[in-house]
Copies of this chain bind each other. A is one copy, B any other.
Amino acid sequence: MAPPTPRVVVPVDLRKKPWEQKLALHNRWHPEIPPVAEVKVGEVFRVEMADWTGGVIKDDDSAIDVKTIDFQDSTGIRILLVHYLSGPIKVVDEEGIPAKAGDLLAVEICNLGPLPGDEWGYTATFDRENGGGFLTDHFPCATKAIWYFEGIYAYSPHIPGVRFPGLTHPGIIGTAPSMELLKIWNEREREVEENGLQSLKLCEIQEGTSEWEKIATEAARTIPGRENGGNCDIKNLSRGSKIYLPVFVDGANLSTGDMHFSQGDGEVSFCGAIEMSGFLELKCEIIRGGMKEYLTPMGPTPLHVNPIFEIGPVEPRFSEWLVFEGISVDESGRQHYLDATVAYKRAVLNAIDYLSKFGYSKEQMYLLLSCCPCEGRISGIVDSPNAVATLAIPTAIFDQDIRPKTRKVPVGPRLVRNPDVLKCTYDGNLPTTKNPGATTYPPPGVLGKRQAH
């Protein structure tokens, strides 16, 4: 007889706030957050999740919700209530013995998708004052685009002429850290924070009990990916993929959240995938002692490990790609030494500028490259002093031919794409970057006679 329909171990009711759910969502990593459910290896189970903001961003006609999203508490300390996670889920073997520290937890994503009745998502950039995104000095305003789903496809009224199949995945999936690992995280990230590098403070979970007080004081926020997986934002963790997570506490305590309908490598606009609520159908295996057998720690303790992944077999298939390159020279012309981050930034900027020639605003393309299935590669990382990064864009997602041609870029009615992303003003004082080259081109004498045309 067929196994039963996957059991819903964490239900989510979208009419309720994250903290009103039957099984409360959590938004920090801590070993003592108690499991809300238990599953057996081999069992296919279903986990539902809110979108990462827990419903703060709306399907409406304004980006004001993005601009005013509150990351600070009343004392002005920046807090982050976001990344509401479903779980933790305790995993046990056929005999009921929980996963143990030192095991590997293999989690297969059997299926996933939107929650019925909530088939939409959004991509946004935060205001520069509020953290912004990868290119926040170029794009300091809060912006938002809404995406609607038609089965496997997404399209946006704010970015016309584009449609693509999703490579849907959970942005966050991870096991609970042990106290030892949590302490490592808090210490090493404190340094970055104290140096003022735009980092975000560790902060409270809103709960009253003294036990929760303790957890809130110690817990790690969910923004970065870490040894336990977490917010790794690997866009290929979609249907049929398998994730080998290290286990640090009894039961593994698996949590997941931050569903993405689609994401580009790097998720450059920060709130940058097509963010959505959704469900996962998962199946777990326990590889006893697998941490030692398969993972080699890279750092001062045996806990300094990273998960391993297998990619699934049903990814969208593209055959034509247009590729943009960046090198580690920044917008001011300054040389950076083998810096892949600078190189990737420039590749993304190159792609935005190029695509905007086809009837789009730069903000539209920034959001698009953050959420469409584009691939960001480290192509060269040894050829001193320039790192080379590339961004490959599948041309089939556009309804026009975006390749360079010997005839001029077409102009005319088909390129009048009046809609734009929803946008707020930037009222802050942080520095922004203008591209000096863009406005003065071509300079006298460089392109000679052609200027006359």
Contact = CB atoms under 8 A, between A and B. Distances in A.
Given A111-B152, A311-B321, 17 more contacts: A2-B148, A104-B404, A106-B406, A110-B152, A189-B335, A189-B385, A233-B388, A234-B325, A236-B392, A291-B447, A293-B357, A299-B437, A300-B332, A309-B325, A319-B320, A341-B341, A378-B389
A202 to B, nearest CB: 12
A387 B111 CA distance: 27
A152 B327 contact: no
Interface string A94-135: 000000111010101111100011111000000000010110
Contacts of A302: 437, 440-443, 446-447
A231 B384 CA distance: 10
Given A119-B2, A382-B134, A382-B272, A409 B294 contact: yes
Interface in A179-225: 180, 184, 188-189, 191-193, 197-200, 223-225
Nearest to A408: B293
A51 interface: no
Given A119-B2, A311-B321, A385-B197, A344 B378 contact: yes
10 contacts: A2-B120, A102-B447, A108-B150, A225-B325, A266-B380, A287-B406, A298-B350, A306-B347, A376-B378, A376-B379
A313 interface: yes
Interface size range of chain A in the complex: 35 or more
Contacts of A441: 292, 296-297, 302
A77 interface: no
Contact of A308 (B100, B319, B354, B377): B354
Nearest to A229: B325
A3 B118 CA distance: 10
A56 interface: no
B239 A192 contact: no
Given A304-B329, A378-B344, A109 B151 contact: yes
Contacts of A413: none
A286, A307, A308, A409 pick with most chain B CB within 10 angstroms = A308
Nearest to A323: B309
**Chain copies in complex:** 4
A423 interface: no
Contact of A152 (B239, B288, B297): B239
A70 interface: no
Interface string A415-451: 0000000000000000000011110111100111010
A381 B325 contact: no
A260 B406 CA distance: 30
A270 interface: yes
Contact of A224 (B244, B307, B327, B446): B327
Interface string A240-275: 100010000000000000000000011111101000
A160 interface: no
